Amino acid sequence: MEMALVVLVVVIALGFDFTNGFHDAANAIATSVSTRALTPRVALLMAACFNLLGALLGTAVAQTIAQDIVDITDASAHLGLVLVLCALVGAIVWNLITWRLGLPSSSTHALIGGLTGVGIASGIHVYWQKILDKVVLPMVVSPIVGFGLAFVVMVGVLWLFRRSSPSKTTRRFRIAQTASAAAMSLGHGLQDAQKTMGVIVLALVAGGHYSGTVIPLWVKLAAASAISLGTYSGGWRIMRTLGRRIIELDPARGFVAEAVSAVVLYTAAFSPVHAPISTTHTITSAIMGVGATKRLSAVRWGVAKNIALAWVLTIPAAALVAAVLYVVLRPLLA
């Protein structure tokens, strides 16, 4: 029974990784597609490849997910696996709801919300201080940094190219967007695929099949492949929201938004905190930042408000789904 549960949890974790890929495909390429720097299929293929590469660059964020959200070391193998299973389903359900609505919510926070929800429902220890330090504070700070840095950099770019030919500048930034989209995709793989690695390790530990500190290579490859396949399958609904509905982007603004977002993602992943920040929050706030350099009214704040509402609801909504599922499934899987 326990082995079957381990396999089920790993499969569902990879399913979550796949939904993460198509849910967050827009993060990396919406700006490049909307400015016509890249065609949709070329952009998706490039994003999938760099997601795969980024997923293999580190494991620090994975360790944060596996060790710093809930403590399952004292739970039985059966209970630990049920907890991880319910957390994953809670995250997947919220991902699918927001994808259906075309809202770029955070897969990262959906997963953390799911883990927190089952932690509360089951009574196991939840690392509230670590969640505050590594999740809540970065959740608040990263969009602010993304918005502010994108605004400042865009103002600098506008000043540097103020006397340049508009047509030549546009053409050059379209070319530059290939590099910035690749950098953003690499950061997405570095951040988001690692979260699934962390959950799979959590399941292996719960089932008594792993006790090491180094993430197995097969876990890295499986998570990297799943998110890459999900990315290539595309996320057209959310891509339209990021690429068109917040603001009409030009190549220069698209390049700055992607480049700034990539820097924020790399900084968070390699910082001492190893914060699992949201690629969705980062790129969306950066798009708003570059858009605000036109004029504040150029940003469609009504759409931004709906996105912000989805951000606020993500952790509690995923936590609620996971907690309810745990209450329902625990007797059935006993």
Which pLDDT value is given to residue 240? 54
Q: Return d(Cα 208, Cα 267) in angstroms, integer.
A: 34
Angle, CA 123 vertex, CA 128 and CA 107 arms, to 5°: 55
pLDDT at 19 over 60: yes
Which pLDDT value is given to residue 239? 55
What's the average model confidence in pLDDT over 239-268?
76
Per-domain residue ranges for the chain?
Answer: 2-332
CB 150 within 8 A of CB 290: yes
CB-based burial label for 295 (10 Å; 0-12, 13-18, 19+): exposed
Which pLDDT value is given to residue 156? 95
What pTM was computed for the model?
Answer: 0.79
CB 260 within 8 A of CB 146: yes
Cα 6 from chain centroid?
24
Q: If you write DSSP's letter for every residue of 244-287 in order, what string do you get?
A: IIS----HHHHHHHHHHHHHHHHHHHHSTT-----HHHHHHHHH
Q: Which residue has the tokens 């039985």?
A: 76
Q: Return d(Cα 192, Cα 227) in angstroms, integer.
A: 8
Which pLDDT value is given to residue 26? 61
Q: Where are the alpha helices (DSSP H) in the chain?
A: 2-34, 40-55, 60-67, 77-101, 107-122, 128-131, 137-160, 166-188, 194-206, 217-233, 236-240, 251-270, 279-291, 301-332
Q: If you write DSSP's letter for every residue of 93-147 in order, what string do you get?
A: HHHHHHHHHT----HHHHHHHHHHHHHHHHT-EE-HHHHIIIIIHHHHHHHHHHH
pLDDT band for position 44 (50/70/90)?
confident
**Beta strands 125-126; 70-71: pairing state:** antiparallel
The pLDDT tens digits for 145-179 are: 988 999 999 999 999 998 888 888 888 888 888 88
CB 215 within 8 A of CB 197: yes
pLDDT at 20 over 60: yes
Tokens of 179: 């590099």
| CA-based R_g, the chain, Å | 20
